[in-house]
Structure 1
Amino acid sequence: MVTAFVAISQSYWFRIRYFCRYDYQNNTDSVLVRDVDEAKAYYVDVLGFFLVNDLTFGKDWRYVTVAPDETNETVIELVKAETEVQRSLVGKQSGGQVLLMFQTDDIEADYAAMKKRGVRFSGKPQAVPGGRGVGFVDCYGNNFDVFQPD
């Protein structure tokens, strides 16, 4: 089961931990979307994530978060792209690189279940440094990885 986020590179984490006085943790990653309901349906129904929050604060702010597991401390906030610049970044906010990496304890089972629900993968799980991994894209074209450490 996909259970954790790995949202920053190991070298970046090393620099933060050893050269700063604080031990930072990431609690929310934002993903720009064209339509919050469309994105929510994809992340819940196709990726198999859990809906953590769907709250409305006033007429202009909706807070929708999802996570790969109901016990995750880190969530993805699905943020409606409002401005022209934000709309231009939907599906491209990581510049063609991996936006987030999800850690699993059984990559083959997760790959099979996600593929059956219609997730588009870049290939099959294969050996990568430190374990096994495979990439996939969401409904907007954002790149993600699933990784199982050795």
Structure 2
Amino acid sequence: MRRIALITLLVDDYDEAIRFYTGALGFRLAEDAPRPDGSRWVVVEPGGGTGTALLLARARTAPQRARVGDQTGGRVGFFLHTGDFARDHARMRAAGMTFLEEPRQEPYGTVAVFEDLYGNRWDLLQPAPDAG
């Protein structure tokens, strides 16, 4: 079996990012270990430990800092699937999440675009029952 295990997400500050992803998004902190170069290995995941997780990497260079919040050129770059859209949408709004649109029905499911702490765009998506 092969799968994508981690995706690096550039952040300004480890602790700020951990608070956001574990608080507002309800992710689980899977790892937070110091590295010899002074950085940290910080992994957060939506839950269950069976899917793709995010490696939160503090931007260290000017080109990296310029990409924080714009890693995909303004496109939706991350897709958070849920089995209960209404529950997660309500919880995220209550936590202060910025949604860029009202939820909408598409042939592939219920979806709404939101921005994370840094402005990266995400889809909160409950796939339609018959969507592959």
TM-score scaled by length of structure 2: 0.90
1:145 aligned residue: 123
Q: Does the 8 Å contact 1:107/1:125 carry over to 2?
A: no
Q: Distance in 2 between matches of 1:70 and 1:53?
A: 14
Q: Distance in 2 between matches of 1:105 and 1:45?
A: 19
Question: How many residues end up aligned between the 2 structures?
Answer: 128
CA shift at 1:58, angstroms? 1.4
Q: How large is the Cα RMSD of the aligned pairs?
A: 1.3
* Identity among equivalent pairs (%): 36
Moved over 3 A (4+): none
Please give the secondary structure, in 2, of the residue aligned with 1:40.
helix
Query: Which structure has the higher relative contact order (CA within 8 Å, separation 6+)?
Result: 1
Q: Distance in 2 between matches of 1:133 and 1:62?
A: 33
Q: Structure 1: which amino acid aligns with 2:109?
A: G
Q: Distance in 2 between matches of 1:67 and 1:36?
A: 15
- Unmatched 5+ stretches in structure 2: none
- Unmatched 5+ stretches in structure 1: 1-22
Pairs within 5 Å for 1:24-63: 24-63=2-41
Q: Distance in 2 between matches of 1:112 and 1:128?
A: 19
TM-score scaled by length of structure 1: 0.80
